[in-house]
Structure 1
Amino acid sequence: MMPNGYNPALVALSIAIAVFASYTALDLASRMRGAGPRLRLAWLSGAALAMGGGIWSMHFVGMLAFEMGLPAAYDLGLALLSLALAVGVTGAALAYVAREGSRTRDILVGGPVMGLGVAAMHYTGMAAMRVHGSVAYSPPVVAVSVIIAVTAATAALWLTVRPSGVGQKLGAAGIMGLAVAGMHYTGMAAATFTAEAAGVHAGHLDVAGVNHQTLALTVAGATFVILFLAILATSSDQQRVARELRASEERFRAAVQAVRGVLWTNDPQGRMTGEQPGWAALTGQSRAEYEGYGWANAVHPDDRAASVEAWNRTVAARSTFVHEHRVRARDGTWRHFAIRAVPVLEAQGAIREWVGVHTDITEQREAEGELRESNEEIQRYAYIVSHDLRSPLVNVMGFTSELEATREEVRAALKDHPQAGRIDADMEEALGFIRAAITRMEGLITAILKLSREGRRRFDPEPLVMTDLLRSLADAQRHQAESRGAVVTIAPDLPEIVADRLAVEQIFANLIDNALKYLDPARPGRIDVTATPAPGGRVRYAVADNGRGIAPHDHARVFELFRRSGVQDRPGEGIGLAHVKALTRALGGRIELSSTLGTGTTFTVTLPRGTATGKRAAAEPARLAAE
């Protein structure tokens, strides 16, 4: 048995290689998350080469640091095989735990495989050593070295797939490097070398000492070059990410400008800090004036308290801020803005900052105001016109009654006239046409007045249990349904909404009544009312029938005032669907039609779950791009 020891400088060098390689591999492997297939393969190959090559280099330098007093050489084939084992097994383990759909528990499979591969690399490298003597191993110490390898590999994979910053990577690399070194030197402690002849120790020191150091430095130098190139690749990737980030910021700022918006940021507590060029350009406030809650001084006095209260409530709830208020612009005018702000979260879930945009909607609000005034004026005009039309209509009705009263006198005066019968028949026909026209005109005037009153009506929103409401409407029309041999089915689980009860009743009563009117007599009638959720906190209600259907060219016309489609064998003025459409719009919804002639019709009414002025659903907080 030969006395042995270690060269402290080479031992330190081997540990440094292990730590440096671990950091590089962890950094490269962490870039696989979110990368495309080709880039993912490149980062995987780099991480496997850095980790496997670093472990192999550390092993080789550690072997050269071992002073056993025997001349040693190395079998090139086995040495390269040990390198291939290190790189291949490391790459396979990284690929397994980083694949699509992998879970954290997969580390418990990849870690032991990688650890056993590293142990195989170590003992293959030991087998590559050629000495004038024999080598024996202590099984318990070998087992300990394998356990260390498996533990170190599992820890390495866990640290690789776990999101981490630079500080965490440095700590992980130190732990991993020391663990790899510990595995190697534990494996070396398991080996006992016995010389074949005496007296070689001195000769070995004279002949092989310098060569060992030169070889160690060459291996270490080549390893550091590989790792340096990997670091350069990482740096290049970081520069690419930085360029993409700058481009993204420029696009974002351009997008904000395109929508006439002003970008601003607040600290986690919701206070405006730092340089805010957009806000300063809009309001003319200096940094000292807008910092903290000074921005509120630029908000219209009537909107200020509500804005600050809503903002504080949003900050406390960590939700999305959606609001509107007026802001005094630099030129002293008041502009109307829609505001939306979201919290930006760190990886740990803490708020880093708030990012918001003020979008100028002054022209939109002014246009809406003008449109409201125009609609009100049209409604007043329609009311006045329809009301005034009643006066001449009443006169026509009165004179028609007088004509009917004098008809007997005319008949008596023309009793002996040869054309008396024809004249009487013509008068009867003419009076019939006048009466029909009066009835038609009366219906039209009543319809115009009804729509005019609906346009001026104020809605009173309340929670509505839609299943019960629609069943009551169906019950009210049960006699009509039974007389037509039809069945009206209301789904039992219709979502509830908040809306004006009378308006909703009028909408669905009209739709059910229309469906009953235009059923196909050739088959039993069926009307089904169902509902499904719709995006944006809305509900889509469908009234479907198996009636006559509506021809494609009439789909748009049926919603027009006084327009009807198909065979006109049912009474009506053509205002029902126009009324339904007007009410649906007033409730903040829309109505759509799907129909096939001869098959049936489905009217779909989409309504908000809450009132038009209800709170919008909060969006998810934004997270940093680096996550």
Structure 2
Amino acid sequence: MHGNLHELGEVLGGHHDPALVALSVGIAILASFTALDLAGRVRAAHGWGVRLWTGAAAVAMGGGIWAMHFVAMLAFTLPVPITFDPWLTLFSLVLPIIVTGFGFGLVRRGAGRTRWVVSAGIVVGISIATMHYTGMAAMHSGAVLHYDPVLVAVSLLVAVVAATVALWLSLHETAPAPKLGAAVVMGLAVAGMHYTAMAAATWVLPAGHGRPDGATGLEQASLALGVGSTTALILFLSLLAALFDRRFSALAQREAAVALRESEARAAMLSAERAAAEAALRVGETRLHIALEAAGLGTWEVDFATGQVQWDETMGALLGLPPAARESAARRWQDFVHSEDLSPLRAALRPAMKEGGPFVAEFRVRRQDGVERVMALRAAQLPPTRMVGVCQDVTQARAAQAVLERDRQELERLVEERTAALLQVARQRRRAEEEARQAEKLAALGHLTGAVAHDFNNLLQVVTSGAALLRQPSIAGAKREAILDGMIQAGRSARDLTGRLLAFARRQALHPEVVDVAERLSGMSELLRRTLGSGIEVRTSIEPDLWLAKVDPGQLEVAILNLAVNGRDAMPDGGVVTIEARNATLDKEGERPAGEYVCIVVRDTGQGIPQHLLDRVLEPFFTTKPTGYGTGLGLPQVLGFVRQSGGDLSIRSEVGEGTAVSLVLPRALEEAAAARPVSAAPNSARRGTILVVEDNVEVGTLAVSLLEERGYITRHVRSAEEALSLLRSGMMPDVVFSDVVMPGGVGGMELARIARESWPSLPVLLTTGYSEQLSRTSPPDGVEILPKPYQPEELSAALDRALRRKEPEAA
């Protein structure tokens, strides 16, 4: 054949690009797999979904075969330029899509019968071959195309066989692996058809025609990749759509299966909620009958139009009828109602019949045997004139109820009598408890009075005996001085005892100041060493930058000294007393509010206090010391001082380990400079006029004597009113020295307030043994306080302080 062709002109030899050939085969396989997968969706679809998926399968199969064909055409090159007719190329694309869709529809219409499948395969195969040869005709190269008839026939046969197999496989659902194998076989068959057809073609350049120069009309590799990529994308999207549809279909099938099972279960249940209901109804009727018999309930029905009543056997028994007549009908209901209850029963029936609601009543019946019984009736209306209900014999129940009511009334009477008796006992118990508390108070007061009386009588003994001895002219000078010293010491002891009592009762007049606690404790070290003796080592541990405290400095020193002396007494063989001070931020506890405090701990290494006595050491006059070695007011005095200052006290002790007493005092927020003591000026020799205000003649006389002894000029008055009258008349003393508690409408505190307001430069010095008002409130600014009893030197110092207050104001 080629020999004959050479006579016609130059036979052109062409060759294939291996990469594009492989691409074309891959497209054929992918198109076959996609078409088989989409055909499966056709089988599962209904209605418009069948046409949609049939079209998609046709596009995948026909379009994929065309893409394989076109890429394979681009893989082939000739030594002459090649161009493509766009319209024939487009026709070669549309033809296999339409015919493949027709073939799928034909197979589905034929219900998969063999002759329909074969017929559709022939039509689709011929269309695929036609697509190939149409595409070949679209190639323009300037050469004449000749075909080998045998190979053309072979290619046509391959196309028909491949199309028939594809259509047959589209009718059967296969697993992914067999489907992939079938796609590979079909893809190779379709590609084989194309390359068989290409082998059947020969291009001959006619004799006398020169070989055209230049490249082909399209850059074949780029175009092939573009077509292949686009086709692969379309096929991938088709597979993705089929995947989602398959998933949704599976979900729908599962939901339908579940719904079907639920529907079948509901139907079965309904058939069973019905059989059971019928059985339950029968059982209920039986149970109702049994229950009515067990409860003794008789059922009845009355027609008020005729007045006749019908009842069951139980109702007949309740009415006392003989067995033979218990079920007889057509009895008048009025024949059985007690004559006295007939009218009230009729009156109650009328509104019940009119309103149509339930009817409840009790009435007496007279049985045929003459016995009266009480019946409880409950009924409902059956319009228009009938009523049905039940009756029960409640004769015994009403008799029992009457007995219970009598018993209840009797019980209420007994309860009232018992309650009155219990209230009387409670009143007597409260009276006895109050008397017991009063007795405890009197006992405590007697104990307190006895202890105080004992100490004060001892002190008074010293004073009165000393005064009597001083009257004797025979007393020598040295002995006289000893007696006077004893009397003075007795006065100091009495003042200390009074101070402890007031501190314990929180009634002492405190004069809180901003105190530098660190400086005070450091200054007390030497005093403590001298007081405690050589056998006691005194140590101090003070935190740096210790806060200031708002406290009465004198009472603070007395409290520290008391605790140190207690520690010394607990260490008869010597030991260590440690005084610690630190800053502390504490939560609320008891009477002490939350806030910032200065904590002072006095610790000893003594014998310790037994636990059963630890709770009692703060009681007044309780002491662990031997008789004659303590009054039992030391710790109560410290407790009263600390709590009156806004702080608190706690004690920790172990036998053999020592005792630690902790004081917490409120922090002062004022400047530190306010806490520094002002250096006292030397005692001035200056003397002046003192207005003495004292209602007690003896005390006033002694005060005047002490002042005149020191060179002051005095004027003594016995009331604040007299003092104010003198001041308003023009008298202006250097100092007003007044008692706090005096009879009359004006006391020392009021006198000091008026004097400071009217004469701001006039110093005022107040003195008192105890003042309720002074324990609650602070004195006016610029007023000095001198506690009674006082020593002459204490009076002089207080006057000097009052006069020094005057000098800056005067300046």
Normalised by the length of structure 2, the TM-score is 0.32
Ranked by relative contact order (alpha carbons within 8 Å, sequence separation 6 or more), the top structure is: 1
Answer with 1 or 2: which has the greater Rg. Answer: 2
Normalised by the length of structure 1, the TM-score is 0.40
